[in-house]
Amino acid sequence: MTYSVDLFQQAQLVMPGGVNSPVRSFNAVGGTPIFFERGEGAYLFDHQGKCYIDYLGSWGPIILGHAHPSVTHALQQAIGKGLSFGTCHEKEQKLARRLCTLLPSMQKVRLVNSGTEAVMSALRLARGFTGRDKIVKFNGGYHGHADSLLVQAGSGGLTFGRPSSLGVPASFTEHTLVADYNDLSSLEACCESYGKDIAAIIVEPVAGNMGCIPPQSGFLVGLRHLCDQLNCLLIFDEVITGFRVGLHGAQGLYNVKPDLTILGKVIGGGMPLAAFGGRSDVMDLLAPLGDVYQAGTLSGNPIAVTAGLSTLNVLSEPSFYETLQQATQQLADGISLLTKHFKIPTHVNWVTGMLTVFFTTQGAVHNQQEAVQCDADTFKRFFHALLAQQIYWPPSAFETAMVSMAHSQQIIETSLQGFERVFSNWERTV
Ligand SMILES: *Cc1c(COP(=O)(O)O)cnc(C)c1O
């Protein structure tokens, strides 16, 4: 642990906050981040070889567990052939075809390097295609750190986004409208006033960045109808849900067809790879065919594409998602039983591969407002108590724990024993 403290102090001298992405700093839970050296299957190892059961999964990509042998092998082969060509190569179309086959709403796809980049490009494309400026997003939805999406709702039901970050001019967010997740009525006013100006509605079909919050029945279909009425595009941000909640994404699970889809995280299997795709009449507006400009030096990078393809190979195997669902359910049910037994007010939301424990007396959590009412202090103690049991949970109350194929029944059983020790000592912990 002192090793991590020392390293973190040194990191802060050369990196803002000691990190390359803010939530890694443990700001939300306090304490010093652990420095990890190695991952294998469901485990992360720190420098002393101390082993943690990993429920962070690198925030989503690691659906096969760490260092999966067939992905590692494919990468070793690929690396020897050069890291980047900046030219066409065959594997990129293999991956593109694969993505379009598995997600039939996508007729064409473009590969990029991060979810942020994919979202930014998809919004530009939606605006170019519709000739309209406004975008609707939902409170608590996260779509990366593009300027126009760094907004917080003002007061009142329907709101224009105000910048939530310094450095974002108000004029950059004036075209971003904000509504409430799982609440179609919160869209009515905005559609009445601005319907003809709305280029797209962007949504995480299962919210994953205010904790895991599944869509209520009728919500996604309602959005589809609304977009048809307004003649605007429906964009599913499936950066987390794509190839996590099922082989055909959340769109397959809930049977709603978006016009554009954003992918990331799992499709790179841990390498920097993301994508956006959809209807060909829309996608063909991208340069070089059309006038919406979009480009990238490392886009379709052969190493990243290799990691993606070999990851998709494994998760396409029969009953992959049945097993993943059973594992997620085993963990969710186990935690619910324990908290009930020890009378700790919680609510567990889960969808295949994703899970959040909300500390709340209110029961189910459906939107951001209900999520932020949960007890953040209790979560901090919960996080550190789990850490002491060598269980690495995402370091924020508003994140989603990730279950992977490597989380066997046995490992989940062991995890639940750790949870039991945490909850049985709760009075002393809290
Ligand atoms: C992680 C995430 C992004 C951003 O992806 P990056 O690769 O971190 O830029 C966008 N949308 C959702 C839903 C995400 O979870």
Question: Mind listing the pLDDT tens digit for each residue in 235-262?
Answer: 999 999 999 999 999 999 999 999 999 9
CATH number at residue 395: 3.90.1150.10
Distance 239 CA to ligand 1 centre (A): 6
What mean pLDDT is predicted for residues 65-92?
A: 98
Helix (H) and strand (E) counts for the chain?
15, 16
* 47 and 116 fall within a common domain: no
Active-site residue flag, 133: no
pLDDT > 50? residue 333: yes
pLDDT, position 427: 82
Cβ-proximal residues to 339 (8 Å cutoff; 6+ apart), any chain: 345, 346, 348, 357, 423
**Average pLDDT, stretch 8-21?**
97
* 7 shares a domain with 77: no
The gap between the terminal CA atoms of the chain, to the nearest Å, is 22
Distances (CA, A) of 326 to 64, 211, 317, 350, 427: 15, 20, 16, 11, 31
214 and 359 together in one domain: no
142 is catalytic: yes
Mean pLDDT of 87-103: 98
- 85 and 30 within one domain: no
**Closest Cα to atom 8, ligand 1: which residue?**
115
Domain-terminating residue out of 258, 281, 315: 315
Per-residue pLDDT tens over the stretch 372-422: 999 999 999 999 999 999 999 999 999 999 999 999 999 999 999 999 999
Tokens of 28: 């939300």
Residues 99 and 168 placed together within one structural domain of the fold: yes
Give pLDDT tens digits for 256-287: 999 999 999 999 999 999 999 999 999 999 99
Based on the fold, state whether residues 152 and 267 are members of the same structural domain: yes
Which pair of tokens denotes residue 144? 């990366």
Catalytic site residue 197?
no
231 and 123 both lie in a single domain: yes
Strands (E), 229-366: 233-237, 260-263, 274-278, 347-351, 354-358
* Domains held by the chain: number: 2
Residue 375 in tokens: 């007890």
| Ligand 1 atom closest to the CA of 264, numbered from 1 | 7
Strand partners, 152: 162
Helix (H) or strand (E) holding 227: helix 219-230
Which of 209, 241, 261 is the best mutation target for the ligand 1 pocket, counting ligand atoms within 8 Å of the beta carbon and taking the most? 209
What is the distance in A from the centroid of ligand 1 to the CA of 398? 14
According to the model, what pLDDT value does residue 154 have?
59
Residues 198 and 267 in one domain: yes
Structural domain including 33 reads 2-67+318-429
Among residues 53, 84, 74, the alpha carbon closest in space to that of 312 is found at 74
Same domain, 75 and 60: no
* Residue 317: pLDDT over 50: yes
- Report which of 414, 363, 358 is spatially closest to residue 389, judged by C-alpha positions: 414
User: Among residues of the chain, what percentage have pLDDT more than 90?
Assistant: 93
Residue tagged active-site, from 108, 134, 265, 380: 265
pLDDT(160) > 80? no
Asked if 268 and 286 sit in the same domain, the reply is: yes
Q: How many CA atoms lie within 13 A of 302 on its CB side?
A: 17
Mean pLDDT, residues 187-201: 92
- Ligand 1 pocket list (CB less than 6 A): 114-116, 119, 142-144, 204, 208-209, 237, 239-240, 264, 274
* Separation between Cα atoms, residue 122 and residue 294, nearest integer Å: 10
Please tell me what DSSP assigns to residue 177: E
192 C-alpha to ligand 1 centroid (Å):
30
CA–CA dist 323, 328 (Å, integer): 9
Tokens at 265, concatenated? 């995280």
Question: How far apart, in whole angstroms, are the C-alpha atoms of residue 251 and residue 100?
Answer: 13
Do 185 and 271 sit in the same domain of this protein? yes
In this prediction, residue 210 has a pLDDT band, given cuts at 50, 70 and 90, of very high
Residue 133 in tokens? 């400026």
Which domain-ending residue is among 263, 282, 315? 315
240 Cα–ligand 1 center, Å: 7
Q: Which of 315, 334, 351 is the last residue of a domain?
A: 315
Q: Show the CA angle centred on residue 146, arms to residues 142 and 148, nearest 5°.
A: 90
CATH number, domain at 109?
3.40.640.10
Task: Report how far ligand 1's centroid is from the alpha carbon of 428 (Å).
Answer: 37
Q: Is pLDDT at 318 greater than 70 in this prediction?
A: yes
My answer on whether 310 and 386 are in the same domain is no
Kindly name the residue from 52, 55, 142, 181 that is annotated as catalytic.
142
